[in-house]
Amino acid sequence: MCVEGMGPRLFRTLLERCKTPEAILVHLESGDNTLPGQLVQSVRRRNYEKFYDMHHRWVKKSGARIISYEDPIYPDILKHIYDPPPILTCMGEWDSSDRNALAIVGTRHPDVYGKRITRELAQAAVDLNITLVSGLAKGVDSIAHYTAVRAQKRTIAVLGTPPHIIYPAENKALARQISQNGVILSEFIVGHKTTPGCFVRRNRLISGLCRGVIVTQAGDSSGALATAYSANEQNREVFAVPGNVLSGHHEGCHRLIKSGAKLVEKFEDILDELPVLKSKASQMNLLVEAAEMENMTETGRAVMDCLNREPVHVDQILEKTRLDHGKLMSVLLQLELKGYIQQLPGKFYIRKI
């Protein structure tokens, strides 16, 4: 916010009353006894003008973009949370696929298990072209972002700082990569003082941008739990990965599971709870199958046409394809090695794609 003492909820209330930001300033300058005196005095002293100018100069220089709540590209899913920011400063371009995003969050200090499960779940998501959202922090957040970047897929980083400050500084290169095929966003303006509370506030945006939040590893006091609690308040699905009960590094996830979060062992557990993403996964699988069939030889396609999800005996395939036995067995072996079919006991085969 450019005006000291003006938060998202108060701004929305005043915007409903005054209709435009300019009218809000006129209203505040005229005095309003129902509002905090600090806010009214800040407007009368025009303190906001300095921050407004600083922010716009930085936006122009950096190539970033300011998106207001009324802007057509303001994320619609974010408009439905309790206190959406009136403006967002973004680096990168939004995409229609971002409306069905998933968040992956967790500890800044994951163990080997936490790193592995974070990579696996993130990879499964980006393989389905699902946008990943996280907070650009060390540890789990960075792993999720890196997984998307390396696959050249979309990811959104929500900052707890003004947009000109990347924290931690070691993630500046990662932030640049994200902005090339994703979005870096902040609700804070240049010159805003960063406090621990800013990182708590940004958690509601991480969950607000998503269909569901996945906590891959979290201790008992992890900040990722705040994101999960925000997700609950916003009616988003919350998922948690169980860990070693003896390690002392997974209590947060276990507490979430006890409180009703969905236990995750594999990515399919997430899809089962989110029909919109499960439908997307099914469509992707159909496209993959079509592409694989297109690349098969004519003989391979003929054999595949004989198979389905029910077991079919090799003699039936011989009869339908009229191939000689040696040729058929060679084709079946190639299809099995590619993972297209599976051999069952008794010389039966089933189709896997």
Residue 233 half-sphere exposure toward CB, CA atoms < 13 A? 15
Contact 208, 234 (CB under 8 A): yes
pLDDT at residue 283, rounded to an integer: 59
Helix (H, G, I), strand (E, B) or coil at 126: helix
Q: What's the CA gap between 42 and 88, in Å, rounded?
A: 22
CB atoms under 10 Å from CB of 218, counted, come to 29
The three-point CA angle 105-110-112 to 5° equals: 125
Q: What radius of gyration, in Å, describes the C-alpha atoms of the chain? A: 26
Mean pLDDT of 91-110: 95
Contact 158, 172 (CB under 8 A): no
pLDDT at residue 173, rounded to an integer: 97
Q: What is the pTM of this model?
A: 0.74
All structural domains of the chain, each given as residue ranges with its CATH number in brackets, are 1-45 (no CATH), 77-274 (3.40.50.450), 296-351 (1.10.10.10)
pLDDT digits (tens, 9 = 90+) for 275-297: 878 666 555 554 455 555 555 67
Q: What's the CA gap between 324 and 107, in Å, rounded?
A: 59
CB atoms under 10 Å from CB of 63, counted, come to 9
Q: What's the CA gap between 224 and 238, in Å, rounded?
A: 11
Q: Six-digit token pair at 86?
A: 């009136």
Helix (H, G, I), strand (E, B) or coil at 237: strand
pLDDT at residue 22, rounded to an integer: 56
Check residues 42 and 158 and name the one with the higher pLDDT. 158
Q: What is the strand order of the sheet 348-351 is part of? A: 312-313, 348-351, 341-344
DSSP H or E stretch at residue 105: strand 101-105
pLDDT at residue 286, rounded to an integer: 47
